[in-house]
Structure 1
Amino acid sequence: MSYLERSMHMLDESAAQPYRLMVGSKESNRYNSLQQQQQAHDQQQFSLSMMGDSVLDSVQDVSMLRTVDSERGGPLSGSQMSLAAGTVSYSNVNVRESTKQLCEEFLHVVQRHKNASDVFEATDELIRTLEETLVPMNNAAKQLLPAGRERHLHAEEMWLNAERDTWRLMVCLYRDRLVTQKQDNEMDDLPLVNSEQTIISHLYGGNANLREYQMIVDWLEQMTLHQNQTELNHYMGRTVAWENTLHQLLEVGQTAFGSGRPLVKSLDPDAPIREKRPLHDLDVEDQMQLAKRVFLDIRQGRLKEAQIKCENYGQAWKAALLEGWRLHHDPNYEGKTDFATRESIEGNPRRDLWKKFAWQMAESRMLDPYTKATIGSLCGHLDSMVEVLSEHSWNDMLWAYVKIQIDIRVESEIRSHCIKSYLPMPDRYWNGKKSLEQIFDALEAHKNVRICTAAKDVDKVIQKYIMLDDIPELMRIVDGWLEGTEVVLIPQMLRFLTHFVLFLRQIGKTFQEDIGDRVIKRYVEYLITLGASHMVAFYTAALPPNMQLLLYSRFLDTITDSLQRKQALEDAYNFGLDVPTITVYTVERCRLMEPENDESAPTASGTLTELDERKIFSLEWLTFYPEQRGELLWQTNTLIRYFLARRSIEAARKTFAVIPADTMELIFTHYGSKDDIPCREEVSIREYLCYQTYLAAIQGYNDWSHLFYNGRPKPPPVVKISNFTERVTSEHREETYRKELSSWEERIGDVTTLTRDLLYNVLLFPEAGWLVDTDTMKPMPEDDEDWQNRAVQMENLRKLCIPEIVLLLHQLHTLTDRHSENLLLADVLSSESRKLYSVFPKHKLAETLTKIAESSLTLMNNRKDPFVGDGAKK
């Protein structure tokens, strides 16, 4: 009798009963000590549709496609989606539009679940959102897919699959870390007992690390399960194993496609090994395909389905072999009072014997690799699984390593607390114990380039440190991604990382907040390109005030439509941003911008540069809220000073026009009375009126100049008169000309008087004078740099503009023969009450006085009073 026959003979009847305690599958009741609610929720999470690691195993960099060995085949190649099997072209634009919509949907989810108690409801909803995005995306692409070809995923879609799986991993791990571990009371040491189930239930209840290992295995199995839905219906409904061999043995010489080699003479499970003879070639092929499929079911956590396949194929012995690992439990020893009935025994009472022989099977060279891997996954034999999985994915290898760690820890616990004596396991079994850190190190140093490269992918790195619960190290790596160029973080990665940071903050996890802020900042910079103000405002509000100021101001710079500007400020206000500070900073930053090239300053009549227009338009940010009208005046005055210093009158006029007509009324209404208006607003109002007076004077002079030079009627041309008709026509033209000239002279006289008054309004500005602050009892911040600059600029403008106004007045009087009024102008300049002469440079003052003296001389030559100015003054 072979070792396999002996081991099968010693199995208890109960070993063939399925649906019992399981350590490595979903049917396990290993969480008996945990709360029923938690168990139900985890089961619900794991039953959700999931896509596996393979979606990203084909990515070398998350934004690039990695080449897959197209020659690798077999059912297990389905555990990673083959990108070499064929591609289909579909709209990249549609994919990107769908992923952009996720930004909006994620925002709605986060807004609905702001409380810390809602964190897992939020993550569950995020997972559903991703699933709802992927399903139609996948269905739409499949409609264009030729038969027999697989899809070629876009980088965005690859990431969405990985992101969904990562959220699921986070949910199960952190729910256990935050809920279950906090609810677990300190458990007493378990005394020696007879039930392996009781021991392991106690172990799972008190060992958080083991629970997390099991969650990781479950998570990896579910990803593969929902990625590979194809069933091998070829094996369904068949009850006889090795039928081709059986047929040839029964119908010797009558088989159409018989084997030329001598076949086995018996059909028991050990016959091929014992007789060293093969099966029929077709049976060998079928046996290999079945072995692959059974192992894939084990990889997917579907032990029951694997057993059903074996039974349907006529290999019930193989299904029974997969039962031998189950933990033994005899309820008849648990303090029963009714000894008349005997309850069924669960599990395998000689599990140690089964495990010893299973280990030998996994080491045997006589079995195919997939059968050895199947047995090895149930008895803790890593090498047999690695032999099959090392050419597959990072997830497959991680599953093998972690599953082995669970087996070793379970076995160690059983042997430490059970009163039974067990057959010893080989030293290689116990030496396989590793920590998660050691497992990840092994994957990063794996000889398969594909696996070690995948270990550096963004999603794998994130999943690794979530499993290790080493968030600080993960954030340091993320910071390197943000600053470096080796990893290209596509917008969807930034969206995930941002919500990952928000998730950590919501659960109170400690990590480097400054790195989290930089992650959110990068995401906001992407949202700015989308132009969605509510999204920009929400995520900006999660940043420190200084970053809020810089980022939202940058966003405001991109908006030109007035309605959109107003909406952006409303969104900022609704999400708690400091709108007044942000708008003022935006206006000041724009005002301080310098042209990139050496643009010449525009003249008074010249066109404005694009930068000038932008500076003027930025003032609109201060017009939306009445309480900011005082700041609007201050900033407008500052910009007008800038333009007047450059002699850009048109720019100053457009700047002045930005201020709404009701500004003064709103300021007085806001503060209640004139006495309550702060000093800053008070001086701003006076300065605003100064510019109003000056711009009106300049505009008046321009209108007068246009009328004087261009409005004067032209005399009719002199023509030779040869008849009466021509004489009448000529006289009519002369009469018309005299009337038009008389009308023009009357108009020019009125306009001259009006223009003179407008110009004098500047020179005779009330109280202290034009651009001179009045004395006030209200405190003025003398040490403030803005105030100091303002005082200097206003004094310089007085020196620039007042001499200009005086010269314009002199020219006005001279051209209209009002020389006597030039003498009055001299009296105004020399007045000690205003001291206008003090703003003139000496040479310009001398030039002005010379011009006035010329007017006096003209009066004298015309036999008029050359001193009419003094007389008028008296």
Structure 2
Amino acid sequence: MDQSTPMIVDSMSTPRVYSNASRFQGTAEFTPSIYATPQVHSSDMLVNGFPSIMNSSITNLGTRLLNTDGMYFGNDIIQRYAEVYEHTRPQEDIGNAPETYEQMCEEYSKSFREEGGGIFNFKPRECRLWEAERNTWKLLKLLSQYRFTPIKSLDGTRNPFQTDGQLLCELLAIDKDFAEAWIVRKWLWKIAPDFITVETNPEYRSFTKNSILLDLKKRDSEEYKYLDPDGTHRTQKPLHPYDQEHEKELVRSIFEYLRRGQFDDAIDISDKNGHYWRSAILSGIILYDEKVDGLHISKIGCKFQAVNTDRVTSNENGNVTTIGNVNRQIWRGTCYHCANQEKLDVYDRAIYGVLSGNYESIIPICRTWEDYVWAYYNSLIECQQEEHARHMGVNDDDDLPINIKVLTPKEIFELVESKRVDSRDFDLEKFHIIQKLIILNDSKEMVKQLKVEIIDKRLRREDEIAYVHFLRLATHLILYLRDLMLSTPDKESDDIIKLYTELLIECHQNKLIALYASKLPREISIEIYASFLKGVTSSCTERRKLFTLAEQYGLNVVAITRKTFELIFKEIESPDRYGPVSDIRIITLQEPVNAVEEIQIRALEWLTFSKEQHREALKSANALCRIFLASGRMNVAGKIIMEMKYTKSPLSAIRYVKPDDDEDEIDTVFIEHQNYCTMIEYYNKYEAWWKTWKSKPEKPSSKELNEWTKNIKDITNSLDIRFHKFLDSYVIDFLRDTKTMVTEEDEIRIRELERVMDIYIPNAVLRHHKVLYETRDILPANLEESFNLANLVVEENADLTIHFRRSKKLPLLIMSLRDSYLEILKKNPKDISNVLHVD
């Protein structure tokens, strides 16, 4: 190994070879040794300098996690996750997003622990979920940093005389699988839960010793001199029950410290309880190294700290010269032999199993999935480390053979899954699936398993809390993997992100939906965002913001708004449901529209936010008017037309659409809109006429009567003008007069136009006859004009009789003309030639 290239080994840092060790300045402090890991406190998880979203305090968390629907999905949680995802760039810092997610999970789990009355009480389910997610992000952070950090090639020359410490550094640098196993074990050390350690009793086996001293017969007997460490096994004499219990708790505590990688604490607790021989045994795990300067090994750059000064030799000047176990192979073989002694306590055997890498003596006391994985990975690391030393010719002592099967990571997880650990905790099992596949670096299989758990197993129906938590985690895992350019199965990934987006829609997280919809394929994003916009009924300003958000995140806003209108448009009842034209009742313009109709009108506004859709909006407005008019809801069509004329309405933008510039083609869209305007103007004027007519003063010859007469004359003349304009410009199907191929959409439009004309032309003629007939005394010429409406109906250029026949209104027209004819005869019985004149 190049002596000028330092290798940094830290308990939570990624083992890599760097050209400059200063890259790790500002990171966590180095641990006392490569095996010693300080206990983690929740406060240590909070790092300064993260986004402001990490600084928000969590108050009343239990309430805020439950929204109005009773779902475990607090607004602040999903918003913070979205902010972290949006504002972190894995390309800049691989571990930034996972570390921030990890800290958030720690923050929430801490709040649940505090609400539960302390970390040693039974933890609520929510706390377990947050802790499991925190552990998952921690694992992903550590392995991602290793897998995506460039490796500096090692110099081909190497020192043939290397110590165990140097060989470990070399192995970490050249063996990717070993380095990842090292990281996994460090992760398992860190996530182990806290435990209650043994009470300190500095006097070694005091109860047994006092019992012997108080018994004069035992005091001088050789039979009872068994207080040495091997005495009880040699003589088969039991200790005092109190000493037995204390030693049982001591070895359990030592094992728990080793389980967490806290070797310093295990040695310290042995010293404090007078078990110095245990301290000596545990100290043997420290690798031997040479030429130690101060607390760091300068020769190879491995930043080891001395476990304590009792295990370090010094020269005359007080400088450290050597550290560690020079006979580690003999020591490990002895530990392996002790681990197989069935007469030893189960925790004693487990301790020796940890030191030697013998997982078979550890498995009996493992309780959780993490315990089993740690036991196997600890064995994997110890065995590979020893095998590398043998391969390099450093350890070749075969006097104490060690027979441990070296397992591959896949074999490890197969064994763990066969143990049925955690008492089948289905919540944790889901996280273990993810963690296993992160370790195995199988992102494709991980996404497939996520899809199985969330979708195929119908998790939502079984458990809403787990569904929401797991779905959020799965979504952000997939997004993180995609940002790292890792291969994930598209369909399964899209299904999960789509589910999460739909959940955001259900929870009314309107500002976040565009962000996640933008991560879906084009067609799916259009469909899901349009279905979301379809249900939004807030103000136009708020809806425009949602449109802008879609633009901001690169969604196809034109296709989305078109789809949104189509979805709402499809919900409008077909005119065919209302039966024959003759049964249709025309709703007056003055009658207000209902809430559903108002939503349908507002649907047009989605098409006004982009100028390139204004003509499309005009065409859609025509379609809406046709549908409403064909069902007799003239009030709704009238509101659309009036809003298009009102400058402060968003629909007014449609009014300024110009006809097509192509002179060879008739702009049917523009003409149809103008004709609807003319129709609405006529009916609106008629309702004004009717209101004026009904307001005739009761006193004749009064001033009010004269004013009323003048008003009725003016409004009648104005109405007559609009009536003829309406009939002259009513909608003609121009497609019939062209050679253009008629599509299915055109056929529907033609049928709707015919129905509209069948309803409103006969009705307008009959209404206008009433106007002319009723005003015959005020405007005498109107009587003759009312009769001449017959000429207008049968005029060759605009044969209106077809509409009267289809609407079955021809008998009504004949009866109305009969009244006009009889009135004319009554006033001029001798000369009716002018009346019967036909132009």
Give per-residue Cα distances to partners, 1:263-290, cap 9 Å, x unaligned. Answer: 8424321122222212222221111111
Do residues 315 (structure 1) and 275 (structure 2) align? yes
C-alpha distance in structure 2 between counterparts of 1:425 and 1:222, whole Å: 33
Do residues 172 (structure 1) and 142 (structure 2) align? yes
- Contact 1:297–1:306, Cα closer than 8 Å, also in 2: yes
Corresponding residue number in structure 1 for 2:191: 223
SS of 1:490's partner is: helix
- Contact 1:520–1:543, Cα closer than 8 Å, also in 2: yes
C-alpha distance in structure 2 between counterparts of 1:773 and 1:830, whole Å: 21
C-alpha distance in structure 1 between counterparts of 2:66 and 2:732, whole Å: 57
Q: Which residue of the other structure, out of 614, 617, 628, is the alignment partner of 2:602?
A: 617
| Structure of higher RCO (CA pairs closer than 8 Å, 6+ residues apart) | 1
Code of the residue aligned with 1:479 in structure 2: it is K
- Contact 1:634–1:681, Cα closer than 8 Å, also in 2: no
- Contact 1:376–1:382, Cα closer than 8 Å, also in 2: yes
TM-score when normalising by structure 1: 0.77
- Contact 2:373–2:412, Cα closer than 8 Å, also in 1: yes
CA-CA distance at 1:575 after TM superposition: 1.9
C-alpha distance in structure 2 between counterparts of 1:703 and 1:793, whole Å: 28
Q: 1:791 and 1:681, CA in 2 relative to 1: closer, same or farther beyond 3 A?
A: same
Do residues 520 (structure 1) and 486 (structure 2) align? no
Q: Does 779-788 or 742-751 show the bigger shift? A: 779-788
Do residues 559 (structure 1) and 536 (structure 2) align? yes
Q: 1:368 and 1:26, CA in 2 relative to 1: closer, same or farther beyond 3 A?
A: farther
C-alpha distance in structure 2 between counterparts of 1:784 and 1:262, whole Å: 112
SS of 2:431's partner is: helix
- Contact 1:537–1:572, Cα closer than 8 Å, also in 2: yes
Structure 2's unaligned 5+ residue stretches are 1-6, 31-36, 43-59, 68-72, 293-297, 301-314, 461-465, 579-583, 777-781
Q: Does 29-38 or 98-107 show the bigger shift? A: 29-38
Corresponding residue number in structure 2 for 1:568: 546
SS of 2:482's partner is: helix
CA-CA distance at 1:222 after TM superposition: 0.6
Q: 1:186 and 1:455, CA in 2 relative to 1: closer, same or farther beyond 3 A?
A: farther
Corresponding residue number in structure 1 for 2:295: none
Q: Which residue of the other structure, out of 583, 591, 608, is the alignment partner of 2:561?
A: 583
Corresponding residue number in structure 2 for 1:435: 408
- Contact 2:517–2:529, Cα closer than 8 Å, also in 1: yes
Q: 1:754 and 1:571, CA in 2 relative to 1: closer, same or farther beyond 3 A?
A: same
Do residues 753 (structure 1) and 717 (structure 2) align? yes
Give per-residue Cα distances to partners, 1:671-692, cap 9 Å, x unaligned. Answer: 7xx6659999954333222112
CA-CA distance at 1:110 after TM superposition: 2.2
C-alpha distance in structure 1 between counterparts of 2:239 and 2:223, whole Å: 6
Q: Which residue of the other structure, out of 824, 829, 833, is the alignment partner of 1:859?
A: 824
- Contact 1:169–1:219, Cα closer than 8 Å, also in 2: yes
Q: 1:862 and 1:22, CA in 2 relative to 1: closer, same or farther beyond 3 A?
A: closer
Code of the residue aligned with 1:153 in structure 2: it is P
Do residues 822 (structure 1) and 806 (structure 2) align? no
Q: Which residue of the other structure, out of 415, 428, 432, is the alignment partner of 1:460?
A: 432
- Contact 1:771–1:798, Cα closer than 8 Å, also in 2: no
Give per-residue Cα distances to partners, 1:515-559, cap 9 Å, x unaligned. Answer: 211111111111112323221111111111211111111221232
C-alpha distance in structure 2 between counterparts of 1:40 and 1:217, whole Å: 24
Corresponding residue number in structure 2 for 1:403: 378
Q: 1:31 and 1:568, CA in 2 relative to 1: closer, same or farther beyond 3 A?
A: closer
CA-CA distance at 1:384 after TM superposition: 1.5
Structure 1's unaligned 5+ residue stretches are 1-20, 52-89, 715-734
CA-CA distance at 1:297 after TM superposition: 0.5
Do residues 530 (structure 1) and 507 (structure 2) align? yes
Do residues 711 (structure 1) and 676 (structure 2) align? no
Q: Which residue of the other structure, out of 764, 769, 772, is the alignment partner of 1:813?
A: 772
Code of the residue aligned with 1:806 in structure 2: it is V
Do residues 413 (structure 1) and 388 (structure 2) align? yes
Q: 1:190 and 1:455, CA in 2 relative to 1: closer, same or farther beyond 3 A?
A: farther
C-alpha distance in structure 2 between counterparts of 1:346 and 1:811, whole Å: 115
- Contact 1:713–1:737, Cα closer than 8 Å, also in 2: no
Q: 1:849 and 1:628, CA in 2 relative to 1: closer, same or farther beyond 3 A?
A: same
Q: 1:48 and 1:741, CA in 2 relative to 1: closer, same or farther beyond 3 A?
A: farther
SS of 1:820's partner is: helix
- Contact 2:332–2:356, Cα closer than 8 Å, also in 1: yes
Corresponding residue number in structure 1 for 2:102: 127
Q: Which residue of the other structure, out of 491, 496, 503, is the alignment partner of 2:473?
A: 496
CA-CA distance at 1:326 after TM superposition: 3.4
- Contact 2:94–2:145, Cα closer than 8 Å, also in 1: no
C-alpha distance in structure 1 between counterparts of 2:12 and 2:482, whole Å: 35
- Contact 1:591–1:615, Cα closer than 8 Å, also in 2: yes
Give per-residue Cα distances to partners, 1:719-763, cap 9 Å, x unaligned. Answer: xxxxxxxxxxxxxxxx66866656555544443333333322211
Q: 1:803 and 1:335, CA in 2 relative to 1: closer, same or farther beyond 3 A?
A: closer
- Contact 2:783–2:820, Cα closer than 8 Å, also in 1: yes
C-alpha distance in structure 2 between counterparts of 1:506 and 1:366, whole Å: 54
C-alpha distance in structure 1 between counterparts of 2:343 and 2:380, whole Å: 27
Q: Which residue of the other structure, out of 333, 347, 368, is the alignment partner of 1:356?
A: 333
Corresponding residue number in structure 1 for 2:625: 640
Q: 1:468 and 1:343, CA in 2 relative to 1: closer, same or farther beyond 3 A?
A: same
CA-CA distance at 1:476 after TM superposition: 1.3
Code of the residue aligned with 1:539 in structure 2: it is Y
SS of 1:560's partner is: coil
Code of the residue aligned with 2:124 in structure 1: it is L
C-alpha distance in structure 1 between counterparts of 2:743 and 2:81, whole Å: 45
TM-score when normalising by structure 2: 0.80
Give per-residue Cα distances to partners, 1:772-827, cap 9 Å, x unaligned. Answer: 55999xx9985665445334432442333222222222232233333310244233
Matches within 5 A, 1:36-47: 36=21
Corresponding residue number in structure 2 for 1:158: 128
- Contact 1:641–1:794, Cα closer than 8 Å, also in 2: yes
Give per-residue Cα distances to partners, 1:12-39, cap 9 Å, x unaligned. Answer: xxxxxxxxx999x949997678974677
Do residues 388 (structure 1) and 365 (structure 2) align? yes
Q: Which residue of the other structure, out of 245, 251, 254, is the alignment partner of 2:208?
A: 245
Corresponding residue number in structure 1 for 2:616: 631
- Contact 1:194–1:420, Cα closer than 8 Å, also in 2: no
CA-CA distance at 1:186 after TM superposition: 7.5
- Contact 1:830–1:836, Cα closer than 8 Å, also in 2: yes
Do residues 286 (structure 1) and 246 (structure 2) align? yes
C-alpha distance in structure 2 between counterparts of 1:711 and 1:298, whole Å: 99
CA-CA distance at 1:371 after TM superposition: 1.6
Q: How many residues align?
A: 763
Give per-residue Cα distances to partners, 1:302-355, cap 9 Å, x unaligned. Answer: 0011101111111221111012233344569x999xx99998444323222222
C-alpha distance in structure 1 between counterparts of 2:664 and 2:20, whole Å: 67
Do residues 473 (structure 1) and 456 (structure 2) align? no
C-alpha distance in structure 2 between counterparts of 1:253 and 1:558, whole Å: 92
Corresponding residue number in structure 1 for 2:728: 764
- Contact 1:113–1:119, Cα closer than 8 Å, also in 2: no
Do residues 656 (structure 1) and 626 (structure 2) align? no
Code of the residue aligned with 2:128 in structure 1: it is M
C-alpha distance in structure 2 between counterparts of 1:670 and 1:372, whole Å: 87
C-alpha distance in structure 2 between counterparts of 1:218 and 1:515, whole Å: 32
Corresponding residue number in structure 1 for 2:454: 482
Code of the residue aligned with 2:771 in structure 1: it is L
CA-CA distance at 1:839 after TM superposition: 4.8
C-alpha distance in structure 1 between counterparts of 2:176 and 2:431, whole Å: 24
- Contact 2:15–2:179, Cα closer than 8 Å, also in 1: no
SS of 1:228's partner is: coil
- Contact 2:17–2:152, Cα closer than 8 Å, also in 1: no
C-alpha distance in structure 1 between counterparts of 2:523 and 2:456, whole Å: 24
C-alpha distance in structure 2 between counterparts of 1:194 and 1:568, whole Å: 65
CA-CA distance at 1:845 after TM superposition: 5.5
- Contact 2:113–2:119, Cα closer than 8 Å, also in 1: no
Q: 1:40 and 1:377, CA in 2 relative to 1: closer, same or farther beyond 3 A?
A: farther
CA-CA distance at 1:857 after TM superposition: 4.8
